Structure 1
Amino acid sequence: MTPTQPSRWLRRRTFMLGLGIAALVAGVLRSNETDTPPAPAPVLDSTPMRAEVRAAAVLPSRTEHARRPTAASRVPAPIIDAVTVEKREVCSGEDNLISVRAHSPDGDDTHLHATIGAGSGMRVPLRVWRMADGTYELPTVTVFGKDNIATQVRVPRYTVKDCEPERQVDIFSRRAPNTEEEFEFLARILERPRAGGAPTPFAPVRFVWTFDDRHTVTTSAPRVTHSLRPDPLRPAALYSQHLVKVEAFDASGRKVAGRSSLQLLDTTFENFAKKGIVTVLAVGSPRFPVEDAQGVVRQTFQLSHRWKRPVRLERVTALRSLVPEAEAPPLPEDTAEVSLGVDLLPVGQDVEVPVTLDTRAEASVTHVTYLLEGTTEDGHPARGTFSIMRPPPRPTRENSTPVLDPVLLAKVKRARELLGQPFVTDEDLWRLEREGRFSDLKVQREGP
């Protein structure tokens, strides 16, 4: 063998080895591409509906995903079955209820949720405005499944005419303080400005609220509080869907209506899906702690859960948080096992548990937190917590700053009269402000 032969042999061997590795990599990539099936196109539900338009949602050039399934996750993208448009044509800015029906190919629909334009929910009252040149654009429907794998389609075409409603109703909502399921809703009537003068006056005297097409409440003020507790008869899901409608009537019977959608995360479902823990819920009554003449705070907590089997409480731990002295580090919590007099939490029923905090006998305690630990009948861990707190000290001349602004002072006086309370909070003022209870106040500020 000549001296050049080993060198040629090594180069040929290296070249062949490189070709083999390249072929192997190409085969793996090809396998991954063929193993991931394309997401199916949405199927039109052609079942006729009264006074509604059922239209096939037109897909873009390919199905789009907010997050694409990987080979490791194998989470299928949801399939949009139908997008329903309530009206064939609307005025510019008039709401049009868009409803989405979808499913997951693996049969697990518990994670499905959606956005329609800027709104969230499977039913959203959509508002679309015409541009100055007469054009308008319909937004996108995005349906999310497990791990937020999503499918997108366009809202089916409908006509937005060159007209505007004389007035509209906007519904604002927020979760009530110190609660999980109570929500406050506020209706605000918006008048469309007219070039030729002021719009026809509309003074509502009655508001009819409808929740999820079932529960109806009538109020004289544009505000209502309602519980959006998930329906126990419906299967548990990551999100609960709600549609709220309000109809405002004036003294002559004229009516204007508005709608709003809410898509609420169910933390109890999320806790079990991600951690395998059944959540024990606790709702206090009264909602905020009140100290009686003897310095004792008394609250009753309603314990419940949303699991399909009863929960047995096995241990309750009370953690007393102590007030540290000035410029001293926080004191360790005082921990002790206690009994609430309850061992079993049945399915679909609330169990009342009264607790007290003697603020004079325990002057150094700011609040007591109760940690609940138990097990369901089918072996899942159950956890929950609630706290009873020392209320803030009552306002006095020594610990308070006097109100000097004449407008704010007038609002405080009006709030005390309306609520029949010796003291009012910022929350009381904000709520009455939203209800328009101060709109007739005419106070001049002093100064230049």
Structure 2
Amino acid sequence: MKIKQIYDKALAHGSYAIESNGQIALVDPGRDPQPYLDFAQEHNARIVAIFETHPHADFASSHLEFQQKHGADIYVNPKVGVTYDYKPLEHNDEVKIGGVTIKALFTPGHSPDHNSYLLIDEEGKEKAVFTGDSLFVGDVGRPDLREGAGNIKVNKKELAGMMYDTLNSVFNELEEDVVVYPAHGAGSLCGKNMSDDLYSTIGREKRENWAFQLKEKDRFIDSYLEGQSFIPKYFPYEVELNRKGLEPLEESLKKVPYLSNTDALEKGVVIVDVRDQARFKAGHIEGAINIPNSNDNDKFETWLGSIVGPEEQFYLVGDSKAELDNAVRRAAKIGYETNIKGAALLPKDNLAKDEPLDLQDFRQHPDQFTIVDIRNTSEVADGKFFKDAINIPLPELRERADEINGNKPIVVHCAGGYRSAAGASILAKQLKNKVYDLSEAINEFK
């Protein structure tokens, strides 16, 4: 038996491939099938089963592609209410894959239709549990994503009670040496206090995870509900997308139009410039939103789906075909490739330029600027960097820009400089004020 964790750092998403006797089961696979196909080829094995813990809100799954193109069976809790062919698994139901057994554990709390999957090896020993978004390393999955999405909609307080029961009547009963393999790590918005570690054990979680320490149900519920982060615009859409299943990746990518130039861009359609901040400031299309796609640390997918709604079409622009290809593929990881109206290379001339902020003048006369703090509400709760700053979180900025009044020039900041590029470009498009991006210089003011 072999287990491989396939980790997508940009989405903080962990999926798993389990091989036994030439057969492979996948747990919560991401949109791109290639890493799993590579694993199958490496072990001369065949992918025969996909185990979905629940319809994920933060990434698009390839489960339907593996069913349609490779004949794999999809296993999921029947409460999910999917529209594709599947094999239902309820609490304690078992499936044999090669020489191992995968046992479903009903673990609601993050969602009301959530299964975890207990792996029992060839000798009958419980080896690992794939916990999806129920149990993380150091945390548990947030309970507020299914109030308005999915086949079953449940209020967050009721889900919080379910999570308490899951911890104490399901996970607490497992052997302490059972390895915990979650669907997410630090940086995911599906929890609030995740460890940087990508796996753990039941024993360690019982000792160290805050959720196991709160023995009184009411106290657990109160603590669980407080301090959750914002919900990106695309999360409810993603739940429905995964309940239906997506078109195979490569076939869908071929439908994305590539335009010969930007002259054909339709007015009124959102333009997303995927270049880094320096290149954007040196020259960009007037009104474009800068969401940099530079590396796996930039969370391009999350911010694209937080700023641009799932009902909106948008253009992608960049400096090279390779840059655009990468951005299109990353958009597809959240199922947004169908929203791309076109991808185009930027022209060399007639571009708008951003004037740099005079930092010395800003330090000496901060009162002469309107300072906009676009960090999340939970971040600002720990304190502002500027006493009189207006806090409007980035995901809400397009809708709330008119709350910024007055004739002063605007300085936009976040926590480290990445988000402020998007924020400044949004306000520059929507307001008449002069807008400056404080960018990484924010670190001098903390």
TM-score class, shorter-chain normalisation, is under 0.3
Greater fraction strand: 1
Higher Cα Rg: structure 1 or 2? 1
User: Bigger relative contact order, structure 1 or 2, given CA contacts below 8 A and separation 6+?
Assistant: 2
Greater fraction helix: 2
Q: TM-score, normalised by structure 2?
A: 0.21
